[in-house]
Amino acid sequence: MKVSNLLGKAKGSALLLLGTASVVVSMDANAIPVFARQTGFKCVACHVGGMFPQLTSLGRMFKLTGYTMGNRPNLDGLEVQNDYPPVAIMVQGAKQYYNNTSHGNNGNAPASSADLQVVSLFAGGKITDNFGAFMQWTGQKYSNNLQSGSQAGYGSAAIDNTEFRYADRTVTPNSDLILGAYINNRAMMSDVWNNFGAWESGWINYFNAGNAQSPTTYMMGESSQHAAVGAGGYFFKDKTWYGELAVYKSPTHGPFSMLTAGTTATAFGANPQTSLLAPSPYFRFAYNKEWGANSFEAGLHGMMSYVYGTPLGTPTAGTLTSQPGGPVSTYHDMGLDAQYQYVLDPHYFAAHARVTRELMNNAYANTPGITNWQGLTATNATDNLTETYVDATYVYEAKYGAQLSYAKVTGSNDPGLYGMTTAGSPNWASWTPNIFWQPYQNLRIGYMYTFYTQMGGVNSGSGLSFGGANFSPASFNTSMLYVGFIY
């Protein structure tokens, strides 16, 4: 793993929490973001216990019908106090704590202090009766992985999760059918069961890695980082059977390239986050059952990713590059996923499980100067990785909640990809308990702690090598006091 991915940069403070809370108290407690204003629904109608981003059955239907439920805002003659344009803002801040040294001051991880971390702007909703959008722009103060020099820790601002949907719903006495299509900039953004990516129930993560990040499959990692644009279609039959097919590709020019936020490049020496320049298919099939306050989903997911090495461009004398039309690494991901929900005030419960198996064909294994999507050069021509994720969340009265998540990775040894041990084991395991309080529907305060039971195949002792020193898995334990505010 790259050193820059192991320990991130994150700051924040309890004063920030109090300051934000005082702002919310002075505002209308019924103020809610874009989609809620459009539909007139409270947060708990579409989100489990009001805890975004977990969707209830109604929330799933809202997304599957193209964000078109409710009335389209009339932007002519808005009254400042009574009407709102279709925009919203989200602010996140935190105070992060590191276990491996006092104050977390270990080179790459600065001492924690008061700071806001992320600001997101949202727009979208109903455009026509069948067409709608979800658009997000995000500024991050600590998103750069550079750890030294004038640009160390420099932030970024770019387009984030963005999707345009067309949907048509036909309801008869014997049938309920939704047919839809979408264009978005993140594989699995279409997920309505909160099993993948940004929509996992753990809505907030350690800023700029923050803690030690485990190995991940291409599907769950790079493909979900706004570096490609996809077009797909789906159906949802009788609220029971769901099917979806899409194709993703990294555009290098044209109107869709703006959706990749500048994360792709083709010039020599460029270092794009990804080079998904060959069309890569994604699929999702699921069975859904709803009865009373309960719902259950079980599904199959997968993606075949065709990825060029980095850098991509024109070779010069004595220099190797990855070439369009040349060798392509493939990442074949397939897995199972499931969700269960119980939604009946004052009790709200949700659980998710996912297992994804990846087979890697490393086209540039042992080729100096050319790396994979993580900036690493594989030792083996082929590798495999299995990623497991499980979580459970309970919310009481849409105010008080707790969550426990478990993540595990196993796979083949490759010292080029997993360099914290000489054996190159990818085997990691971690637990993350999270408690939170939501005094208002647009304010959440919480505390989360991640502890590692395995890292690099090491369960205990000091068998991990990092930065010239030896560590145990527990050395990378990380916790965070956080606040999230959306309006």
Model pLDDT for residues 179-199, shown as the tens digit of each residue: 999 999 888 999 999 998 778
Q: Which token pair is 337?
A: 């996923």
The amino acid occupying position 15 is L
144-157 tens-digit pLDDT: 444 433 333 445 67
Judge whether 164 and 183 are in contact, CB under 8 Å: yes
The total of other beta-carbon atoms located within 10 Å of residue 221's CB is 18
How many CA atoms are closer than 13 Å to the CA of 475, on its beta-carbon side? 23
End-to-end Cα separation, the chain, in angstroms: 38
- Residues β-bridged to residue 183: 164, 231
Using a pLDDT cut of 70, give the percent of the chain over it. 73
Looking at residue 463, its pLDDT comes to 79
Give the whole-angstrom CA distance, residue 168 versus residue 173: 17
Contacts of 384 (CB under 8 A, 6+ apart): 357, 358, 359, 360, 411, 412
Please, which pLDDT band fits residue 26 given cuts at 50, 70 and 90?
Answer: very low
Give the whole-angstrom CA distance, residue 472 versus residue 292: 47
Looking at residue 433, its pLDDT comes to 96
Domains and CATH numbers, the chain: 3-486 (2.40.160)
Alpha carbon of 292 to those of 61, 121, 236, 295, 349: distances in Å?
16, 36, 20, 8, 14
Looking at residue 109, its pLDDT comes to 44
Most confident segment among 234-243, 258-267, 412-421: 234-243
Mean pLDDT of 288-306: 96
Give the whole-angstrom CA distance, residue 105 versus residue 184: 39
Looking at residue 73, its pLDDT comes to 61
Burial of 139 (0-12, 13-18, 19+ CB in 10 A): middle
Looking at residue 116, its pLDDT comes to 76
Give the whole-angstrom CA distance, residue 406 versus residue 429: 8
Q: Is the pLDDT of residue 380 over 90?
A: yes
Task: Categorise residue 65: left if φ over 0, alpha if ψ from -120 to 50, beta otherwise.
Answer: alpha
Looking at residue 180, its pLDDT comes to 97
CA-angle at 201, arms to 196 and 203, nearest 5°: 95
Judge whether 393 and 48 are in contact, CB under 8 Å: yes
Helix, strand, coil percent values for the chain (each to nearest 5): 10, 45, 45
Q: Closest by alpha carbon to 216, among 354, 338, 118, 100?
A: 354
460-484 tens-digit pLDDT: 877 787 667 778 888 888 888 999 8
With residue 408 as reference, give the H or E element that holds it: strand 400-411
Alpha carbon of 328 to those of 119, 124, 306, 381, 410: distances in Å?
36, 37, 6, 12, 24
Give the whole-angstrom CA distance, residue 470 versus residue 464: 5
Q: Which token pair is 403?
A: 């969550």
Q: Is the pLDDT of residue 78 over 90?
A: no
Q: Is the pLDDT of residue 310 over 70?
A: yes
Looking at residue 6, its pLDDT comes to 35
Q: Is the pLDDT of residue 202 over 90?
A: no
Looking at residue 36, its pLDDT comes to 78
Judge whether 380 and 387 are in contact, CB under 8 Å: no
Which comes out higher in pLDDT, residue 31 or 459? 459
Looking at residue 317, its pLDDT comes to 54
388-418 tens-digit pLDDT: 999 999 999 999 999 999 999 999 999 999 8
Judge whether 464 and 455 are in contact, CB under 8 Å: yes
Looking at residue 90, its pLDDT comes to 87
